[in-house]
Amino acid sequence: MVSLAKLREMLNWQRGAALAALLAVGAFAASSAGAHEGSATGRVTKPVHAEASGDKCVRDTAYMKRHHMDELKHQRNETMRKGIRTTEMSLQGCVNCHADKKTNSVLGKEGFCQSCHAYAAVKLDCFECHASKPKAITALHPMASQGVKAGSEADMAAKMHPGSVEPNTTGGASK
Amino acid sequence: MSNNVDKTPDSKSHDSSRRQFIGYGAAAMAGLAIAPGITLFDLAHGRAPEEAASSKVRWGMLIDSGKCATGCNDCVSACGKENGFSGSRETDSQWIRKVEIKDLRNGQSHSLPMMCQHCEHPPCVDVCPTGASFKRADGIVLVDRHICIGCRYCMMACPYKARSFVHEELQDQNPDVPRGKGCVEACTLCVHRVDRGGQPACADACSAAGHNAILFGDLNDPNSEISKRVATLATTQVRGDLGLNVGVRYQGI
């Protein structure tokens, strides 16, 4: 007859052993897989991402690799605080050019931003708020086509009927 | 001294004629501004992308509650469409809402949109512990989401209940309007449109619906339509007693 305490001890030991065995197998599998994929470059494979749609970047690749975050941060403050909306160093500019043609995004396994950030193990916060897709395609999203008129259409309507300003004025003045 | 005495009567007449001339000039400008309508309006807005927002401009809105139709929700839906919230989620933000007010003594009722009033002295900016809440040079009050920690002090401070907190993760934002979980946000006066020479989506929607209740413009420019109307008509600042000098004015309430 095995006492309750002894049974518990045995179970614990067995569970621990199983876990250790699993870990060992897992580690072996991972290391062998790494050996197959990693080839000559090392443990982690170099990121693969789609080609950009533009001819060339706003700066050379070496500069952009090193300084894109500083440029983006500078631009973000200029735009946010002062309303300066130049496009050269804007995040929108990056996304417009670098979005993968297949997924239309800079995110995803082969996305321009995410693939490299995953490789470098740097957290990519931008796209929690910012759109990871270029503007034209986002406009086709069902959210955007809801309602009566798109903003741009309303804009157009206002521009096509400048007379609408006139009754506004007289109506206001007579009140 | 004698020079001064000598000058007084003469210079007065000179001055007055000069003033008159300036007056004519202003009138001519105003005529120009109204006749081609949008063209000059755009010119007034036009700012090069590399040019910073200037304190010479103060953006504001004048809302005519007499023209604002009861039951019409076009400004609210246009705002949601432009900025990426439909109101379908329980926790969706609300940047603009329609308010129906009624004087119980005489039954007079008004309908008006209420949103961030873009105060000259914004309480939300006063209380923000990180500096995320700020007023741009041209009077637009914004939240810098990069710095906002989501403490919601500003929501408590705002007398207009204008701000919302984003409770859930968002997808497919408008590239011009980045929004995300954990930040407070409010009406931006469609700053991305204004910077490109446009006007807020609500004002566009209101004129597209034929109500023309929302007039957007530069309160600092004496020749702008909004300034002229503010100068000549009885307009109200909601909670004017707080002395915040708001940028959104109401007419007919």
| Chain B residues with beta carbon closer than 8 angstroms to that of A128 | 169, 180-181
Give domain status of residue A91, yes or no. yes
**Within a domain: A18:** no
Q: Which two tokens stand for residue B25?
A: 């000039």
What pLDDT band is residue B11 in, cutting at 50, 70 and 90? very low
pLDDT at A25 over 80: no
Residue A8 resides in a domain: no
Q: Is B127 helix (H, G, I), strand (E, B) or coil?
A: helix
Q: Record the tokens describing residue B92, joined without a space.
A: 């969706």
Q: Does residue A102 lie within any of the structural domains?
A: yes
Going A62 to A95 to A155 to B230, the CA torsion angle's sign is negative
Residue A99 counted as domain residue: yes
CB contact under 8 A, A129 and B179: yes
The pLDDT tens digits for B92-101 are: 999 999 999 9
Place of tokens 């270029």: A134
* Token pair for A45: 């494979």
The parent domain of residue A101 ranges over: 61-145
In a domain, A133, yes or no: yes
| Long-range pairs, B18-26, Cβ under 8 A, ≥24 | B26/B222, B26/B223
Distance from CA of B220 to the nearest CA of A (A): 18
Distance, CA of B235 to CA of A3 (rounded, Å): 88
Closest residue by Cα to residue A137 from A92, A78, A81: A92
Quickly state the pLDDT bin for A17 (edges 50, 70, 90): low
B141 φ/ψ angles, rounded to the nearest 5 degrees: -90, 125
The Cα–Cα gap between A27 and A33 comes to 10
Distance from CA of B215 to the nearest CA of A (A): 9
Q: How many other C-beta atoms lie within 10 A of the C-beta of residue A14?
A: 10
Report DSSP state, residue A110. T
The most confident of A8-22, A94-108, B187-201, by mean pLDDT: B187-201
Please give the tally of structural domains in chain A: 1
Per the structure block, which two tokens stand in for A16? Answer: 């621990």
Contact B204 A158 (CB under 8 A): yes
- Alpha carbon distance B83, B129 (integer Å): 26
Q: Which residues of A touch B76 (CB under 8 A)?
A: none
- Does residue A154 register a pLDDT over 80? no
User: Which range scores top for mean pLDDT: A2-6, A118-122, B185-189?
Assistant: B185-189
**Mean pLDDT value across residues A136-149:** 43
Residues 156-175 of A with CB under 8 A from B: 157-159, 162-169, 171-173, 175
**pLDDT exceeds cutoff 80 at B196:** yes
> Least CA distance to B168: which residue of chain A?
A128
pTM as predicted: 0.70
Contact B244, B117 (CB under 8 A): yes
Say if A174 falls within a structural domain.
no
Q: Does A20 reside within a domain? A: no
Residue B120 Cα distances to A99, A169, B85, B205, B236, angstroms:
41, 26, 27, 26, 15
DSSP category for residue A82:
I
In this predicted structure, the answer to whether residue A157 has a pLDDT above a threshold of 70 is no
**Interface contact flag, A143 B201, Cβ < 8 Å:** no
Residue A106 reports pLDDT greater than 70: yes
Residues 6+ apart with CB under 8 A from B150: B165, B182, B183, B184
**Nearest-CB residue to B82 (from A151, A165, A171):** A151
Q: Which residues of B touch A88 (CB under 8 A)?
A: none
Q: To the nearest whole number, what is the mean pLDDT of chain A?
A: 71
